[in-house]
A and B are shown apart, each in its own frame.
Chain A
Amino acid sequence: GQQVMQIPQYQHVQEGEDFTTYCNSSTTLSNIQWYKQRPGGHPVFLIQLVKSGEVKKQKRLTFQFGEAKKNSSLHITATQTTDVGTYFCSNSNSGYALNFGKGTSLLVTP
């Protein structure tokens, strides 16, 4: 299946700082999804990107899909302690099931 690589693996920021995580693939992706998992919790779907160059926003979160559809990013503006968790990107494998990246764990210090 199509493998997605996420960087960084960990990020520690002060509350109010911005945060960005990247999801990269060596092959063209048909789509990409982003999930968030709070500590001790389960992954929760955030958004799906399908179109080349697509940008979607959810309040302080901005999601981008690269023009070549080989990378994606999630940017959080002015982080809050509620943003703590692990952010996963995923893509569908031949339309049957999702392959997940290893995730970026975000720690926000007040």
Chain B
Amino acid sequence: NAGVTQTPKFQVLKTGQSMTLQCAQDMNHNSMYWYRQDPGMGLRLIYYSASEGTTDKGEVPNGYNVSRLNKREFSLRLESAAPSQTSVYFCASSRSSGANVLTFGAGSRLTVL
């Protein structure tokens, strides 16, 4: 049982390049989330999807787009990467949007030069 799988684990981009972080869960969870983690800042919510077909902005959505491709997959896209987007990105899922037990993926470390 893989849980939440994120790809890639590491990525280096140049300013202005685009990329997509992929996330898939095999727990039949309804809700999925993207957080970013920066030193001293904790985990900040970028976007979430309460259920298949819906997405909503979190605390720090600027510069990002998301797609809930199906119930399993939730991708995060950076259209024009900036150095301020250098961070560790975590995808998470939960049984529902009201459930507070999140299962996190292993994280994706992104560096923008």
User: A residues touching B (Cβ–Cβ < 8 Å)?
Assistant: 1, 9, 31, 33, 35, 41-45, 48, 88, 90, 92, 95-103
Contacts and interface: CB of A to CB of B under 8 A. Distances in A.
A56 to B, nearest CB: 14
Contacts, number: 56
B42 A88 contact: yes
A90 B50 CA distance: 18
Contacts of A99: 45, 59
A96 B50 CA distance: 7
27 contacts: A9-B40, A31-B100, A33-B100, A41-B106, A42-B105, A43-B102, A43-B104, A44-B104, A45-B102, A48-B101, A88-B42, A88-B43, A92-B98, A95-B97, A95-B98, A96-B50, A96-B97, A96-B98, A97-B33, A97-B48, A97-B58, A97-B97, A98-B45, A98-B102, A100-B35, A100-B42, A103-B42
Interface string B25-48: 000000101010000111111001
A109 to B, nearest CB: 22
B45 A97 contact: yes
B54 to A, nearest CB: 10
Contacts of B74: none
Tell me the interface secondary structure of chain A in the complex: strand
Interface residues of B, number: 25
A64 B104 CA distance: 24
Interface in B57-113: 58-59, 90, 97-98, 100-107
Contacts of B59: 1, 99
Contact of A90 (B98, B100, B103, B105): B100
B101 A42 contact: no
A43 B42 contact: no
Contacts of A48: 100-101
A92 B31 CA distance: 14
A103 B105 CA distance: 19
Nearest to A100: B43
Contacts of A103: 42
